[in-house]
């Protein structure tokens, strides 16, 4: 399981610069996916072979100066609750401020690894000034400069050392379906409606993940683990900052599942927060099913459903091949359709296509529509195969891979979807030198 590291601290100490420095090294290689930047406070990175997720709490701070303090405290508390390790960033230029002391006070009570990073230390004078941060009572500090990266290596070495060991659950054989979405969209009610009757089939597997409740579901010939991200919420803490909270919660559930059931509230629409969760799942290459709950509350006209669906698909571009199920947990309308769809998406995601069959289908298509010539050079694609990864990824071998542009990759991806049915699953297409 990959760990979560939260970067906390007051505004303008350089959290986001550090965050960008961490994820760029990796993001640029793994994720040349459009739409990634919409979700700017969450990223994946690796150091010394250990992968972990980074959350930049800075991007969530709202309001004016006097509101800042309460906001930051709230986020630090959330980060403390969710993260495996915390980087507390301060600024050597301003020295220790009362707000830093507040955050330090919260962090001293925590029994998780906390790393004090003193930022903007880019000369020897500032290195001397950094000594005053011992006053925060958090022990050793790491002098760093986010802008040029000096000192970040030592910080990351220590951080990775302190992260809990990667453990994969024993339960890994069963498909895992995560129920995610913004608070109050009906996630818990959906799970209760599914397992409401015949309660004895349910076994709560304790301790699988710290914060998501796993429920074994076994009916109508389907067996899988349902991961519920809903039922754990200290109301007083998260009233206002729902977005930060939801993304924090969803990150874990999404990273460790096979299919995400994104529950949205029909009365609120496919809003920014639901989109964040959607792009998170898409970027992690998970199967996706969109469940529009509370459909019974909307006034219907003849085309309501068609129009509603078209609006959602517009927001999802370019990845629009996602099943959308309109349901109502209250009236139990179409909730089993939701599960059937999730199982289909799971099967699509684990589909393996024989190389011979793939070439038989794809090579003639490529011959009829070859990649456009670039600078007078023609790209010849000779052969393709599916890569041995948990989700569908395809390699196409050709003479000039660097000349194949995104629109053509999307064309091939759409053809793969048409021919082999990958509904609900992100498909990756790579070009390799033959």
Q: Is 10 annotated as a binding residue?
A: yes
- Give CA–CA dist 214/205, Å, rounded: 6
Has 182 been labeled as part of a binding site? yes
Asked whether residue 12 is marked as a ligand-binding residue, the answer is yes
Please indicate if the annotation marks 181 as binding a ligand: yes
**Residue 229 annotated as binding site:** yes
185 is in an annotated binding site: yes
Residue 295 labelled as part of a binding site: yes
User: Does 293 appear as a known binding residue?
Assistant: yes
Q: Is 120 annotated as a binding residue?
A: yes
Q: Are 377 and 409 in contact (CB under 8 A)?
A: no
Output the six-digit token pair for 106: 């919260």
Consult the annotation and say whether 300 binds a ligand. no
Strand 287-293, strand 324-326: pairing:
parallel
d(Cα 180, Cα 20) in Å, to the nearest integer? 26
Spatial contact of 381 and 415, defined as CB atoms under 8 Å apart? no
User: Is 228 annotated as a binding-site member?
Assistant: yes
Tell me if 145 is assigned to a ligand binding site.
Answer: no
* 49 in a labelled binding site: no
312 labelled as ligand-binding? no
Determine the Cα–Cα distance for residues 423 and 321; give it in Å rounded to an integer: 5
Q: Is 57 known as a binding-site position?
A: yes
Residue 47 has phi, psi (to 5 degrees) of: -145, 130
Residue 11 annotated as part of some ligand binding site: yes
Whether residue 98 is annotated as binding a ligand: the answer is no
43 marked as part of a ligand binding site: no
Is 100 annotated as contributing to ligand binding? no
Neighbours of 195 (CB within 10 A): 17
**Would the annotation count 306 as a binding residue?**
no
The answer to whether 230 is annotated as binding is yes
Is 188 within any annotated ligand binding site? yes
Q: Does 399 carry a binding-site annotation?
A: no
Cα-based distances in Å from 249 to 29, 141, 232, 294: 26, 29, 9, 22
Contacting residues for 170 by C-beta, under 8 A, at least 6 apart: none
Is residue 183 part of an annotated ligand binding site? yes
Consult the annotation and say whether 73 binds a ligand.
no
Do the beta carbons of residue 292 and residue 264 sit within 8 Å?
Answer: yes
Binding residues: 9-16, 56-60, 119-122, 181-188, 228-232, 293-296
Binding residues for GTP: 9-16, 56-60, 119-122, 181-188, 228-232, 293-296
């Amino acid at each position: 399981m990959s760990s979560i590291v939260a970067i906390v601290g007051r505004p303008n100490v350089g959290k986001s610069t550090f965050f960008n420095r961490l994820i760029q090294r990796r993001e640029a290689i793994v994720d040349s996916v459009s739409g990634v930047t919409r979700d700017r406070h969450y990223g994946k990175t690796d150091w010394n072979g250990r992968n972990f997720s980074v959350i930049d709490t800075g991007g969530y701070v709202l309001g004016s100066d006097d509101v800042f303090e309460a906001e930051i405290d709230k986020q630090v508390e959330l980060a403390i609750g969710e993260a495996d390790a915390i980087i507390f960033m301060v600024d050597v230029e301003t020295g220790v401020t009362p707000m830093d002391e507040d955050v330090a006070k919260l962090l001293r009570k925590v029994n998780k690894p906390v790393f004090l990073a003193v930022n903007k230390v880019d000369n020897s004078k500032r290195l001397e000034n950094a000594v005053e941060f011992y006053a925060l009572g958090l022990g050793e500090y790491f002098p760093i400069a986010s802008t040029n990266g000096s000192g970040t290596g030592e910080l990351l070495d220590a951080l990775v050392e302190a992260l809990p060991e990667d453990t994969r659950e024993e339960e890994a054989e069963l498909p895992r379906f995560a129920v995610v979405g913004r608070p109050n969209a009906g996630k818990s009610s959906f799970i209760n409606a599914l397992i409401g009757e015949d309660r004895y089939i349910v076994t709560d597997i304790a301790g699988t993940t710290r914060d998501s409740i796993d429920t074994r579901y076994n009916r109508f010939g389907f067996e899988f683990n349902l991961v519920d991200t809903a039922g754990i919420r200290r109301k007083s803490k998260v009233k206002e900052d729902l977005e930060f909270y939801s993304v924090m919660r969803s990150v874990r559930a999404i990273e460790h599942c096979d299919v995400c059931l994104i529950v949205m509230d029909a009365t609120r629409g496919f809003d920014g927060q639901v989109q964040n969760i959607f792009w998170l799942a898409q970027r992690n290459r998970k199967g996706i099913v969109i469940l529009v709950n509370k459909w019974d509350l909307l006034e219907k006209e003849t085309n309501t459903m068609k129009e509603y669906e078209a609006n959602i698909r517009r927001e999802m571009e370019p990845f629009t091949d996602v099943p959308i199920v309109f349901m109502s947990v209250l009236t139990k309308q179409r909730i089993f359709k939701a599960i059937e769809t999730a199982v289909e998406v799971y099967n699509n995601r684990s589909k393996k296509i024989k190389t011979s069959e793939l070439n038989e289908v794809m090579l003639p298509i490529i011959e009829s529509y070859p990649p456009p010539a670039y600078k007078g050079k023609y790209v010849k694609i000779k052969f393709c195969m599916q890569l041995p990864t948990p989700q569908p990824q395809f390699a196409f071998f050709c003479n000039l891979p660097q000349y194949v542009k995104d629109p053509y990759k999307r064309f091939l991806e759409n053809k793969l979807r048409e021919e082999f049915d990958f509904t609900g699953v992100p498909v990756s297409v790579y070009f390799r030198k033959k």
